[in-house]
Structure formats: C-alpha cells, structure tokens
Amino acid sequence: MSHVYEAPVASLDDALVQAVEAAGAHRLEGYEAAQPEFTRPVLEAAARFAAQVLSPLNRVGDAQPACRAERGVRSPPGFVDAYRRFCADGWVGLGAPQEFGGQGLPLAIEAAVTEMWAGANFGFATCPELASGALEALHRYGSAQLREGYAARIASGEWTAAMALTEPQAGSDLSLLRCRATPDGAAWRLTGRKLYISWGDHDLTDNIVHFVLARTPDAPPGLNGISLFLVPKRWQDAGGEWVDNDLQALSVEHKMGLRASPTCLMAYGERDGARGWLIGERNAGLACMFTLMNRMRLGVGLHSLGLSERALQLARAHARERIQGRGPDGMPCALIQHADVRRMLLTMKALTHASRGLAYTAAATLDVARLASPAAERARAGQRAELLTPLVKAWCSDVAVEVASLGVQIHGGSGYIDDMEISQVYRDARIGPIFEGTNYIQAQDLLGRKVLRDGGVGLREFVTVIRHAAAELPATDSQGLQALRNGLLEGGERLLAVAGALCAGAQERERIGTSAHHFLNWLGLLAGGWQWALSARRACATSGDAAAQAVLDTADFYATHLLPRMSAHEAAIRDGWSSLHRARPEQI
C-alpha cells in the first residue's frame, strides 16, 4: 500500500516564520520575500509538484534504479521528463543569485522546498541539490570566465553539478588524495579515480560540471596541498565545438537504499587527461570545497527531515487504517488506539517538528551571515551557523533513522516487506549519517573545533538564547510547559558545565573523542526543545484553537519523553569515557 506524499504546507509555513524570527532574519533589508503572503504560494506550488510529479516516481526509482547503459548512465524511468519539468518551472534557480539568472530567494525558503523534494522523492532530490553550493563556490572563488561559462547554466538546471572528493584509498581522510592535475596552458589535465560520486553521470542533461579535488605537481603533502578544479563532462574548444572530456563512470554502486540516485565510480584522464580549470588559488582547494560541503551538509539535514516527514505520514496513515487488536470496549480497533503506537507516533511527530525548526533556523542564520548590514552581526551569525551546521547534518539525520525505524515498527511485519514504501524510507534514511562526513566526524567538528576552539564562547551564547526562550514560556497550569521550561533551563546549565570541563581538558584528545557523540546529541535534544519552546509560546497566544492545543500537547510529550535522554548523554560524558578509553582494540 502506498500513499502520495503530501507536504504539510501549513506546518512548513509556520516553521519558516518561526525560524526567520529566531535567526533575526526578519530584520534584513529585502527579506520581504520570506513573509507568509509570499512564501505560501511558493510552498503550495512546490507541494503540488512534489505530489503530482515526484512522489509517483519514488517507488519506480527504487524498483528500477539508475544503471550503466551503452552510453553512460541511465536514470530511472520517468526521471528525464520530471527533471525537464522541474527546470521549466524554475525550481533549480530558486535561491540562485539573480546575476546568474536565478530568483535570489532567501535560503530559508529554499530549505523548505528542499524538504519537500526529499519527502516526495529522495533519489531525485539529490540531483539538483548541489547547484546551490556550486554556484556559491563559483561566485566566491571562480574566475570571471568560469562564472560566465557555467553559472547561468547550472542555475537554470541546463547543466548539473557533481562533487568529487573521495578516493578508494582515502575515504574521509582527504590528506591521502592522489588525483593529479598537471598544467596545460590556461587549463589543467587531471588523472585519477573518485568513488561515491552522486549523479556523477546520468542522462538528465548533456553536460555535468564536476568539482574535483586534486594535487598539482609541486603541491605540499597533506591537506595544504589540495586544489579545486572545475572539470566538465563536455567542454568548448577555441573553435566553438563541444568536445567530450576524458572522464567516464566506470560503474554504478548497488546500494542498500537511495537506489534512484546513481552513485558512480568516476575515472578522470584514463586516455590523455581530463581537461579542467582551477577554482580559487592553488593549494587552497579545501577551503573552496567546504563552501560546497557545508551547503551539502545542510542539504543532508533537510533531506533527512523530508524522510522523517514521509515516514510519519506513512505510519500515521497505516495506524489509522489497520484494524488490529481490541479497544477498552472489547471491539476491534485501529492501531492508533493502542497506547504504545501513539507513543511511537508522537515520538516521530515531536522529533520531526524539532528537526524542521532547527534546520530552517540554520538556513535563516546563513542568510543573516550573508546579508546583514553591520559586519559584527554577520560575524555573530556566521559563528552561530558554524555551530548549527554539524548539528543539523548529524542530529537531523540520526533523527530520520529513528523516525523511519519507528515507522517500520508501526507497520509491523508488513513494514519489513519491500512492497511497503516505509521499508524504502528506512533504507534511504540510513545514508544520512554517512553522507558528507560521517556523524562522528560532525560530532568531532562540533566539539573539537566549534566549541573548544573559542573556549565555548559561541556555545554559551547559543545556550543563553535557548534558556531565554524557555524562561519566556508563559506561566500556565500546564505541567508539560513547566517540564519543558525546567528541562531546557537545567539541561542548558548542565551542558555548559560539562563543556567547561571539556574545555579545561581540551588536550586530552581521547576524552574529546569519546565525548563528541554524546555532546552533539545532548545539544541536539536541547536545540530541538528550543524549537518546541518557540512553538509553544506562539501556540499559547491562540486560545481555544485545536491546532494550538495539539502543539502544546506535543511540546509536553517532547519535554517528558525526549528531553530526559539528555541525562544519559551527560552520564556518558561525565562517567563513561574512562571505560571506553581503557578498552583496547584487541579486547573488543
């Protein structure tokens, strides 16, 4: 049984309003496009496209995945036509700079639409996702010639982009890259192989612009010797003729999930070298690539959020339709009447809403970091965005796996069968914690770089914002709001105390490594509670409204069922690190 994905437009709209205010983006000049009277038509149009075009192809892409063909890689049936309609409707360039032919809308709006694409068809959504980061990289680091030749075509969707980092021997350790780039006049010739390249080859467009990390002949070893190159599938010679470049997809991976998206092993320069052009300065490629990477990490969080919403929709529909067991009156009843099923559904709902608010707030914060007028405000927003990015990528993707797993559980035995879409959602969601730097890497980045490096200053400012939102919850007789207020106030205070202790012992690398996972998840739960506090405060202003009461009830559930998880993470950081430190590899 399958249900068409239906974007919860009203919830997305409310989350946008909340995120824009929480990030301070509503004060930005020219940010009127994020007002509800403008965003609602955009969201409604995207919702129609997601439901009518993308959702029907979701199961098709899983059953008939992308594969190698005689001439390159063939996408699943229906994807070519869907992509052409996607481009014709202007969705690729939604947030692209107007100078590149895009619409220049706020990233926060683009975030909400990105969630819909993934909820409707995750495999399709991963194709246009890189355009935003690619355009930013060209805008910041590309030469005028590269911007003129490639930016507008990427913004329109005429050409797609692909990011080529990982190599068979290197994995996440980019310091071990071997791909080589040798000078060739104004261009370069690249040789090497890259794997796990999403949409590295396909038939949706006739050109694909690869952003490739490689070393030049005189590059120093390690991370400081990496440069970034633009390597198109086809390039135009001096006579205006289009020439096939020396690159090809050697194979397409057979994956656990995300089967519609071709994950390619790419070969560059197997004949005479793949022609490419330097982006940014030589040996500064890692900084350039992180412009793309950070956008992709936000994208992973948003895609994971879309999968959480999809799992919730499928599980809720099944729980309402499936007659199983008997109610208090002894009569047969729907699954949703059983207390534990409601617990699972409320867990899914509470975590999905928290993820949505957090991811949208991160996007709006990036808008502030880019557009705010005072330099000091841009710097503060940039610092906050650096804190939020690994949190959104890792916590939201872990949430998606938990939510999808609960969705399978609610379906029972049928959820384990491929005939049910929830099984695909679960398999698809599992890539999120691995994509674009594993979640342990994100946790190390959050604690080791974003918290310890500045002595916890940025963290204290963020937690102060969370605690302030908790303190502003209206005084009511609701025990749930009291639990939410107390949980956020106390949880924030304890987190800062633990962070202070970790800062004092920052030289103990093993302790930082064993604490990072728990620290990130503790902060994620706290930040999710912050989102519920903001939602509850708004709901309290709407008396007698059933929807508002549902918000308050679910906020109560988050406070009493999910915030207590913080204590387990605290205990693991305070008391559990020594046992992990003592465990030797040969003993495990």
Which residue type sits at 354?
A: A
C-alpha span between 575 and 588 (Å, rounded): 20
**DSSP-based three-state secondary structure for 438:** coil
436 is catalytic: yes
Of the chain, the end-to-end C-alpha distance in Å amounts to 43
What is the DSSP track for 3-33? Answer: ------HHHHHHHHHHHHHHHTGGGSTTGGG
Residue closest to 443 by CA, chosen among 431, 456, 433 = 433
Percentages of the chain per state (helix, strand, coil), in multiples of 5: 60, 10, 25
Asked if 542 and 555 count as a contact pair (C-beta separation under 8 A), the reply is: no
Residue closest to 125 by CA, chosen among 68, 46, 219, 196 = 46
Residue closest to 503 by CA, chosen among 441, 539, 460 = 460
Cα 44 to chain centroid distance, Å, stands at 22
Q: Which residues pair with 160 in a beta bridge?
A: 208
Residue closest to 229 by CA, chosen among 271, 265, 177 = 177
**DSSP-based three-state secondary structure for 90:** coil
Q: Which residue has the tokens 């998880």?
A: 565
Residue closest to 277 by CA, chosen among 436, 405, 137 = 137
Largest CA distance in the chain: 83
Asked if 123 and 76 count as a contact pair (C-beta separation under 8 A), the reply is: yes
C-alpha span between 132 and 320 (Å, rounded): 39
Asked if 219 and 226 count as a contact pair (C-beta separation under 8 A), the reply is: yes
C-alpha span between 34 and 26 (Å, rounded): 8
User: Which listed residue (136, 309, 386, 436) is catalytic?
Assistant: 436
Which residue type sits at 286?
A: L
Active site residues per annotation: 436
